[in-house]
Chains A and B, each alone.
Chain A
């Protein structure tokens, strides 16, 4: 087993293990914190796939932003700390059929796909290339992205903030 394999299995273990904690924990705040390790593990897997820019984005946005939003969302709900969220098993039969079908499909896709072997390809960092293309060939989408962000900003302020009624 090479160093690459060891790194992959450790990261996969962290990702899957903490993802199991996310869905199986009875306390929703523990789920939210376990999600942190899932996001980090996924970021590490991106690094192994040589997608360094996506890994940085994953850490910046998911770990730094979305997770904070989720934890705030958990803290905004009432009595989240003392009432354990009961995760009961319902409709076991249909669930087995549906998840079994999804798993079968995924396995079929995995086995049939001709995977691109990245281990034998010498790659260099992607961030510089993304930066160059973004500033030249994809300039319009880049500038449109700022307008999209602006719209999201205005939408967040208008929806979430109560306007003070002028007397």
Chain B
């Protein structure tokens, strides 16, 4: 039972090792000749005009909340998708009904312009 999760475990170990080796090897092997131009946030881009550590717009919060609601929809989709082959046409119709109700909400937020960045 636990061995089923071995691939996930190996993937996590590999990701951790890969990321730390990349960051560490850059720190150890990379040449360091800093100058003010190199140390600026965007070396050949725009000059930063204000501090980045500012208050964020509350619009992000609404987007995150809407995201969570569709995230929960995905959680309901997952056990359905695993047993889809056994459920037949009825299961298909049931899930269609479920998605349809949320689709109404989706069209509501589109119509309201809640996703528009004004």
Contacts and interface: CB of A to CB of B under 8 A. Distances in A.
A46 to B, nearest CB: 11
A149 B102 contact: yes
B66 A56 contact: no
A75 B62 contact: no
Size category of the A interface is 35 or more
B108 interface: yes
Contacts, number: 133
Q: Do most interface residues of chain A lie in helix, strand or loop, or is the interface mixed?
A: helix
Interface in B71-102: 71-76, 78-83, 86-87, 90-91, 94-95, 97-99, 101-102
Interface residues of B, number: 45
A65 interface: yes
A91 interface: no
A142 B91 CA distance: 12
B115 to A, nearest CB: 10
Interface of A: 3-4, 7, 47-48, 50, 53, 56-57, 60-61, 64-66, 68-69, 72-73, 75-78, 81-82, 122-124, 127-128, 130-132, 134-135, 139, 142-143, 145-147, 149-150, 152-154, 156-157, 160-161
